[in-house]
Amino acid sequence: MNSQLCFKSLYESCKCPLHTHLNKQLPIVDSHCHLDDFSNNHPYFRSVSASNIREVFLVSNKHKFHNWDTVFPLPYQNIHVYETFGMHPKFIPERDIHLTLAHLENIFCDYLHPVSGRHIVGVGETGLDETSKSPLEHQKLAFERQVILARNLNLPLVLHCRGYPLFSLMLDCIESILPPSHPIQWHCVKSDSHLEVIDRFISIFSNSVVSLNGSSTHIRDIDQDKVFKKWIRNHPTLINHLVLETDCPWLCPKNLPVLEFNPCTGIFIVSKWVEDVLRAPGKNASTIIRIANDNARRTFGLPI
């Protein structure tokens, strides 16, 4: 599939014979990435900054407490960075967890990051993770504090979950704390996610969104993959709750060299993958990106 996508069209006008070009002037919104971890990708940023046809909006998750106060400036007019702050379940301090959570809460005293000046548009990512070295009780404590913080600030909440039994625990927690109208992004929904819980999540929270990324393009279990694609294809309202993300620099799509992976190529490939799964008239890659952009704009208040 990737060989049929014109990556050149991400940055400049192109009329080559490849099957898929991305529409000109269509913004790319990466609704979940980690700028702290790919800010040294100079070729990518040079390509975007030289583009006269594309704006890029990055929702950068600052999910490691030791990076909360770091800043990576991007002085490019067509790259717009918005930040969320949270304590990821795999990055919970061994000591002084309450003190670190208090520091996190202080960051939200203003809706601008005190160091970078960037707009803060969400709390998280936060959640539960079976591969974390932190005890589950510590994870639950940090998670609940961040859910309450999102409620008190009326900011979107960004969820992370790894481990099939933990999906229900997380949904029970947010349902007990947040009103049904609260905006929530369930990050990295993929074939091994607890899809019944995701269904409940979408039905309970009217302003919820679910994120698809490059992990969706990998097949680890054939039967599981078939169920996941059928779920996407047949879900009556999923397209109204869909956002696209890369989790860049993690979760590179299938058949894409890691050195070519960035928010633009990642979003383009995932949009084409969704198009191929849906097989619906009028739902090509550009249309899917446009729909996902609008859902991200609504969730995070982005000025697209």
293: domain CATH number? 3.20.20.140
Residue 119 annotated as binding site? no
Q: Is residue 126 part of a domain?
A: yes
Res. 181: pLDDT tops 80:
yes
Res. 269: pLDDT tops 90:
yes
Tell me the pLDDT tens digit for each residue of 212-222.
999 999 999 99
Res. 111: pLDDT tops 90:
no
The answer to whether the beta carbons of residues 27 and 80 sit under 8 Å apart is no
Q: Is residue 16 part of a domain?
A: no
The answer to whether the beta carbons of residues 163 and 136 sit under 8 Å apart is no
Q: Is residue 238 part of a domain?
A: yes
User: For residue 1, what pLDDT band results from cuts at 50, 70 and 90?
Assistant: low
Residue 34 annotated as binding site? yes
Six token digits for residue 6: 């014109």
Res. 75: pLDDT tops 90:
no
Q: Which domain holds residue 162?
A: 2-11+24-300
Residue 247 annotated as binding site? yes
Tell me the pLDDT tens digit for each residue of 18-54.
989 999 999 999 999 999 999 999 999 999 999 999 9
What is the count of structural domains for the chain? 1
What's the rounded mean pLDDT across residues 7-15? Answer: 95
Q: Is residue 125 part of a domain?
A: yes
Q: Which residue has the tokens 């070519």?
A: 260
Q: What is the 3-state secondary structure (H, E, C) of the chain?
A: CHHHECHHHHCCCCCCCCCECCCCCCCEEEEEECHHHHCCCHHHHHHHHCCCCCCEEEEEEECCHHHCCCCCCCCCCCEEEEEEECCCCCCCCCCCHHHHHHHHHHHCCCCECCCCCCEEEEEEEEEEECCCCCCHHHHHHHHHHHHHHHHHHCCCEEEEEECCCHHHHHHHHHHHHCCCCCCEEECCCCCCCCHHHHHHHHHHCCCEEEEECHHHHCCCCHHHHHHHHHHHHHCCCHHHHEEECCCCCCCCCCCCCHHHCCHHHHHHHHHHHHHHHHCCCCCCHHHHHHHHHHHHHHHHCCCC
Q: Is the pTM of this model over 0.85?
A: yes
User: For residue 235, what pLDDT band results from cuts at 50, 70 and 90?
Assistant: very high
| Whole-number pLDDT of residue 112 | 87
The angle formed by the CA atoms of residues 74, 121 and 56, to the nearest 5 degrees, is 40
Tell me the pLDDT tens digit for each residue of 135-145.
999 999 999 99
Tell me the pLDDT tens digit for each residue of 128-172.
999 999 999 999 999 999 999 999 999 999 999 999 999 999 999
Q: Is residue 267 part of a domain?
A: yes
Q: Is residue 176 part of a domain?
A: yes
Res. 117: pLDDT tops 90:
no
Q: Would you say how long the chain is, in residues?
A: 304
Q: Is residue 42 part of a domain?
A: yes
| Whole-number pLDDT of residue 192 | 97
Q: Is residue 19 part of a domain?
A: no
Give the mean pLDDT of the chain.
96
